[in-house]
Amino acid sequence: ISLSLFPTTDPTSIDAWGFHATVAGVLIPLIYMAVCVVGLVGNTLVIYIVLHYLRAESVTNIYILNLAIADELFMLGLPFLAVQNTLLSWPFGSLMCRVVMTVDAINQFTSIFCLTVMSTDRYLAVVQPIRASWWRRPRVAKAVNATVWAVSFVVVLPVVAFADVLEDDGNCSIVWPEPAEVWKASFIIYTCTVGFFGPLLVICLCYLLIVVKVRSAGKRARATSSRRRKSERKITRMVVVVVAVFVLCWLPFYLLNIINLLVLLPGEFRGLYYFVVVLSYANSCANPILYGFLSDNFKRGFRKALCRASRRVDNHERGEASEQQRPTESTLTGGFKTQVQICVLVCSAETTEALHSDSLWPRRTFLIITIKVNSYFPVNSNQTHLRF
Side-by-side strand order, sheet with 364-376 = 338-347, 364-376, 385-387
Helix (H, G, I), strand (E, B) or coil at 303: helix
> In the Cβ-directed half-sphere of 24, how many Cα atoms lie within 13 Å?
20
> Rounded to an integer, what distance in angstroms lies between the CA atom of residue 54 and that of residue 36?
25
- Please choose, from the candidates 252, 247, 258, the residue with its C-alpha nearest in 3D space to the C-alpha of residue 189: 258
Write down the pTM of the prediction.
Answer: 0.71
Q: Is the dihedral of CA 227, 230, 236, 242 positive or negative?
A: negative
Structural contact between residues 32 and 85, judged by C-beta atoms closer than 8 angstroms:
yes
β partners of residue 374:
387
| pLDDT single digits (tens) 39-71 | 999 899 889 888 877 666 788 889 999 999 999
For residue 315, how many other CB atoms are within 10 A of its CB?
10
Structural contact between residues 228 and 357, judged by C-beta atoms closer than 8 angstroms:
yes
Structural contact between residues 276 and 256, judged by C-beta atoms closer than 8 angstroms:
yes
Strands 364-376 and 338-347: antiparallel
Spell out, as residue ranges, where the chain has pLDDT lower than 70: 1-25, 54-56, 217-232, 267, 295-299, 301-302, 305-306, 308-388
Which pLDDT score is estimated for 275?
86
Which pLDDT score is estimated for 59?
86
Query: Counting Cβ atoms within 10 Å, is residue 285 exposed (0-12), middle (13-18) or buried (19+)?
Result: buried
| pLDDT single digits (tens) 75-104 | 998 999 888 888 888 999 899 999 999 999
| pLDDT single digits (tens) 277-287 | 889 999 888 88
Which pLDDT score is estimated for 348?
37
Which pLDDT score is estimated for 351?
36
Which pLDDT score is estimated for 267?
67
- Please choose, from the candidates 1, 110, 49, the residue with its C-alpha nearest in 3D space to the C-alpha of residue 295: 49
Which pLDDT score is estimated for 110?
94
Which pLDDT score is estimated for 340?
39
Which pLDDT score is estimated for 137?
87
Rg of the chain, C-alpha, whole Å: 28
Structural contact between residues 384 and 378, judged by C-beta atoms closer than 8 angstroms:
yes
Cis peptide before 91 (omega within 30 of 0): no
Which pLDDT score is estimated for 99?
93
